[in-house]
Amino acid sequence: MLDQIRQFERAARALEPDASCRKKLRGTVLASTERFLRGIDTLPGYVEVGDPGRGLLDVPIGEFERSPEEVIELLETEVFRPGGNPASPGHLAYIPGGGLYHSALADFMAAVTDKYAGIFFTGPGPVQMENQVLRWVADLVGYPGAAGGNIASGGSLATLTAITTARHAHRLRCADIPSSVIYLTSQAHHCIEKALRVAGLGEAQIRYVAVDDRFRMRAEALAESIVADRRAGLRPWLIAAAAGTTDTGAVDPLNDIADIATRESCWFHVDAAYGGFFLLTEYGRATLRGIERSDSVILDPHKSMFLPWGAGIVLVRDVKLLLAAHGEAAETPSPLGSYLQDAQRSDQPPGIEVPPGEISPSDVSLELTKPFRALRLWLPLVMLGTGPFRAALDEKLLLARYFQREIAARGFVVGPEPDLSVVTFRWAPPGVDLEESNRLNQAIVDGLRRDGRIFLSSTQLDGRFTLRMAALGVRTHLQTIDQALRILSEQVAALTSAQGAEIQ
Ligand SMILES: *Cc1c(COP(=O)(O)O)cnc(C)c1O
């Protein structure tokens, strides 16, 4: 048996490269990431998937090794380039991400040390750091000391946590669901309805509250709708407002909505996945006023803090409600196994007792195993300070306004003045009917994608095919916006000459 153990140990050695192997492997990987970053200014915002060439699927996962060089080349050609490139300055579609380098290195350190971040007992440092980061965000939002939260993988999961907490806090039973009412607008992110369904609330009533001409929830319409529902014997329960919608960046009148939520005893949730970190700016604080009165809020650091994908924060004004909805049933001994008993002793020996306030992430979320996510936010914040983030967000706000002014000057019809950093616009020259202009704008967005240098996305607003430009990439600066304006003019010129040719 001992011989066999030693034999397996030797065969498994490759899983633990020694210092010289590590150096070589690291060198190959870093060389690839440096190639990527050296070309970042000209990396297309979108690369169309070309003819299926060698392809990822032609390299099957097999029993034996492949050289790092071969594998990295495969990644560079087949994985890193095709599709949208959120790390590129030209990615102006959807809500761009960031790919902050400090966070990439933080992820590397978190993975090498493999610190566990779910429970204080085994991960005191990571848990303390998560709580510190959450406290910082709670202060930014303006929540009281009793608030708490969780760093999830993204806004959708954060939303599910908030909805589940709201359901629990309002003690909705199955029989209550068909008569309970949720208020949002047609501009709300679809992850809210998804979360409702997953949380067992699919049979609840949904009211789409009317929006004003800037796509913001109309507070009077909300108030009227709640009164009517109460009169009809229904149970108004949850108001979900947006601090920056995905489509247009609209910020609902949070303070007015907070008044209504308080008066009507509704849970007030704010979706600040995109807009939340604009609170770092003076403009953002004024625009998002009232957010501090919400019961729960979500913010995506992988959007407005420029992190690589995989970080969404949920905060709940009263952390006790979050704990009640997600903690392991603490009061009654659970029949579900005892393998966590060392971490759950109430008489922890000196040195490992949990300091007051150090809530374990596993008690406030669905995750038990949890990667060390806090580090990817903490490291850049602590190393760089908040100043550069504030400056970058102020920059994006101004870039959006500049783009709107300049694209209007080029003859495009523009949407409302942006609340944050999303601009909507469309090509609709006089004398062209709606159907034809919808077709032209579709042609523009398709042309841009084929060209690739900048990547814009489109949406439907009031039945019109509309283009949208979202300035949020960490590397998106004035130069890119000027380039986007030039390329859009080129697209229009191409359309006009194609039309001319058709007429002849
Ligand atoms: C992106 C976004 C979400 C969803 O967040 P994910 O991180 O993509 O899961 C929710 N709401 C708004 C307003 C968003 O922009």
Query: Is the model's pTM score more than 0.85?
Result: yes
pLDDT of residue 352: 60
pLDDT of residue 186: 97
Query: Is the Cβ–Cβ distance between 296 and 162 less than 8 Å?
Result: yes
Indicate whether residue 420 lines ligand 1 (CB < 6 A).
Answer: no
pLDDT in tens, 164-211: 999 999 999 999 999 999 999 999 999 999 999 999 999 999 999 999
pLDDT of residue 49: 82
The mean per-residue pLDDT over the stretch 240-252 comes to 98
pLDDT at 479 over 60: yes
Top pLDDT among 504 and 140 is at 140
Which atom from ligand 1 is nearest to the alpha carbon of 272? 13
pLDDT at 338 over 90: no
Tokens 């629990």 map to which residue? 168
Q: How far is the CA of 189 from the centre of ligand 1 (A)?
A: 7
Pocket test for ligand 1, best of 159, 163, 299, 300 (most atoms within 8 A of CB): 300
**Average pLDDT over the chain, rounded to whole?**
94
Pocket test for ligand 1, best of 163, 189, 421 (most atoms within 8 A of CB): 189
The mean per-residue pLDDT over the stretch 295-303 comes to 98
Structure tokens at 408: 């209007």
pLDDT tier, 476 (very low <50, low <70, confident <90, very high otherwise):
very high
Indicate whether residue 155 lines ligand 1 (CB < 6 A).
Answer: yes
pLDDT of residue 502: 65
Residue nearest to atom 3 of ligand 1 (CA): 155
pLDDT of residue 339: 76
- Written as one letter, the residue type at 444 is I
Indicate whether residue 273 lines ligand 1 (CB < 6 A).
Answer: yes
pLDDT of residue 253: 98
pLDDT at 503 over 90: no
Pick from 166-175, 322-331, 333-342 the range whose average pLDDT is largest.
166-175
pLDDT tier, 272 (very low <50, low <70, confident <90, very high otherwise):
very high
Structure tokens at 387: 């100043």
The long-range contacts involving 325-333, CB below 8 angstroms and separated by at least 24 positions, are 325/164, 325/165, 325/167, 325/168, 325/169, 326/161, 326/164, 326/165, 326/363, 326/364, 326/365, 326/366, 327/363, 327/364, 328/362, 328/363
Which atom from ligand 1 is nearest to the alpha carbon of 244? 13
pLDDT in tens, 35-66: 999 999 999 999 988 755 568 888 899 999 99
CA 69 to chain centre: 33
Indicate whether residue 238 lines ligand 1 (CB < 6 A).
Answer: no
Indicate whether residue 248 lines ligand 1 (CB < 6 A).
Answer: no
Of the listed ranges 49-58, 216-225, 299-308, the least confidently predicted one is 49-58
Q: What percentage of the chain exceeds 70 in pLDDT?
A: 94
pLDDT of residue 340: 75
The mean per-residue pLDDT over the stretch 443-470 comes to 96
The mean per-residue pLDDT over the stretch 244-272 comes to 98
Sequence spans of domains, the chain: 109-384, 387-503
pLDDT of residue 111: 98
CATH architecture observed for domain 109-384: 3-Layer(aba) Sandwich (3.40)
Query: Which of 3.20.20.140, 3.60.70.12, 3.90.1150.170, 3.90.650.10 would CATH assign to domain 387-503?
Result: 3.90.1150.170
Q: Which helix (H) or strand (E) holds 426?
A: strand 422-426
pLDDT at 341 over 60: yes
Which atom from ligand 1 is nearest to the alpha carbon of 246? 15
Tell me the DSSP string of 114-169.
T---S-TTT-HHHHHHHHHHHHHHHHHHT--TT-EEEEESSHHHHHHHHHHHHHHH
pLDDT at 69 over 70: yes
Indicate whether residue 300 lines ligand 1 (CB < 6 A).
Answer: yes
Which atom from ligand 1 is nearest to the alpha carbon of 245? 13
The mean per-residue pLDDT over the stretch 456-468 comes to 96
CA separation for the pair 130, 117 (Å, rounded): 8
pLDDT of residue 54: 60
Tell me the DSSP string of 297-343.
EEE-HHHHT-PPS--EEEEESSHHHHHHHHS---SSPPSS--TTHHH
